[in-house]
Structure 1
Amino acid sequence: MSHTQNRFSSLICRVVCHLLTHFRCQVMADIPINKVEILNLGNRRQALLDKLKRFQTELEAKRAESTKLKHKFKIYAQIPDTEVNYRTRYEEQMGDGSQPISGRYLISQRASVHLQGGQALITFEEEKVASQILKIPKCSVSCERSSVDVKPRRITMDPAVKFEVILNVSRKEVNVHNIPPSMPEDRMKDRLGLSFCRPSRGGGEVERVKYDKNTGSGQITFLHPGVADGLALRGKYRLDLDSEVIVQVGPVYSYQLHRFQTFCGSPKRTVLLEDIEDKEEEEDLQDHLEIHFQKPSNYGGEIESIRYLSGGRLCGPSSVRTHCNSYICNICPHIFLYDCLIYKIIFAI
């Protein structure tokens, strides 16, 4: 009996040892596979990171290009003061007083080029002269005690735009802003109606009142046309709420954009001169440039205009030239107000 137990115990030990050995071999065989999988996952992760970085770089480049294009097409305007001379009196016809004031504006931007320090622009009277100069890689211009080498280049103009704006301004409605939320909405509407119906303050009989407590703004519609013109021109109005309050008043208007066109090109009679060293005063060097490029022996010709900037200087931004063709269906005593509106619309576009 004891011998049988010993044999059985020995058999169990051999089986257990065999199982342990098999399990150890299986584990050792699985370790390289796990390392390979981990290595593959790491490579895939790095590839995805590289791809993400490449896409981020492309996105930044696209954003920079978009910003550059927006800057190119943005209009910089210096609006001059305009004097209006009324020669005839227009008698307003009965029945059309409630019609809005309509204006048609043609906006034309001058094509321009930013002239930097050490550059000059020369416009010749003939295209063939400019074409001859552009074929020369470098020109040596003689001065009093030395010479200056300049490089002729063709000009690429900045994009310019031209468009038409049709503006309609209400003669019966005004917008009101900066209304303090000092009372309930219904009560505030009543106060607005009472305040704007006072002729002593420039108001008139009120037909309808709109009020938005969340934005602190409203809209007043008068019964008769003409009241809104004067209030919009003043820009401010005094309200009687819990205390006296000054609010902002503006016109109610709409506009439409028509015939939008863009232009981009290169002038055929104008040449850009680059890399001009400041060896003399600006005016003297400009005279030497003009003399040099007027001589037929230098392939030049008659010059219409020339402009040179010494190093370190920069020509200002292009200006905007506006032409206003207004077809007014009603008498418009406050033309300046509507000119301001059209300039506001230009910058919004």
Structure 2
Amino acid sequence: MSTDEDFSLIINGDSSEHLEDIMKEINKSKTQHEALLKEQKIIKDAIDNSKTYAKEFKQRTMERKISFEEDNKRHTETLNKEKVKLKTAQKEQNRLRMEILKMKEELGSLERKNDSLRQQTEISTAVPEKKVVFQGATDQCAHAMSFDVNPRIVYPMEGGTALITFEEEEVAQKILSMKEHRVELGECAINVEAKPVQFLVPRYVEMNTKVCQRRILISNLPKKISEDRLLDKLDIHFSKKKNGGGEVEDKDMLHDSGTVVVTFVDDDVAKGLSDKQDHEVEIEKNRKHKVKVTPFLNGEISQLQTCDSVCLRTVQLTGIPAIMDLESLQDHLEIHFQKTVNGGGEVDSIIYNPLGHTTLALFEEDPPKDSQSV
């Protein structure tokens, strides 16, 4: 390689300026080369840094991926556990809901039973006092909540008929078996037909009862006083607030039981009076009589079973013409059927209803022989 001095020896004076220009270009190129080397070094350093950063980023990405997968796995496990807990909780909720429904049903049943017992308690006080006594009789199949009712049957008699009750059942059955009977009436005779007396009577009755909010039943009433005066005195007494009463809407005498029903305008009067039960009513001036007030029951038949019943001692006679007065014809019938030659016997009672008349015969219980009589 030649030095600058060598170049200076061979270069003549004319080309010195051209050489300087070359040297300048060489120096410029050297400067650019050095700059390029620096830039190349910077680029290389940048590439190395980028590779380092890429490597670190890749490593961090892998770590994050692993961490995300672990977190996702833990989240999935936690979610599955929560699903199991939720399913268990839903089952428990359903079980509790069913238990609540069951308890509500039991509570409703207990409330209905309580209402029934409360009504029975109220109803037990709703019956006027009756004197009873145990006479040694027992019953094998009597229901604890059942009671017997004595029959009172109103039987409409047709015109031209008679009802005759014999002392013995055998006599009545014999008269029925003969069926046709010729009865002598002095100068003439009539033909009558004997028929059994049949009823459709209750065999089993169930009633739903509830206490009326506006009525009371008054019993233990005085005997020696007219009905109108008694009703007026009761009206006056139970219409006064100082006696626990209120405005009276109506009052009725129940003749079959000897009791009085008083109806009030307002609903909140009857209960207070029946809770007290015993009330002293001024019947005469300065003279009081103790009456008993009980709740009035409204009843509705919920079940009714009936059966045919035949009166064993009573016979119905039909086809009787109106050929003489009532008493005379009834006497002739009684005399005829008392005679044993006519198949009869001792007559307990007889009633004759002429043609064109309406009569209601009352049948009641026959205690001695557990049958019915006129």
TM-score range, shorter chain: 0.3 to 0.5
TM-score by length of 1: 0.37
TM-score by length of 2: 0.35
Task: Look at both structures and tell me which one has the larger radius of gyration over its CA atoms.
Answer: 2
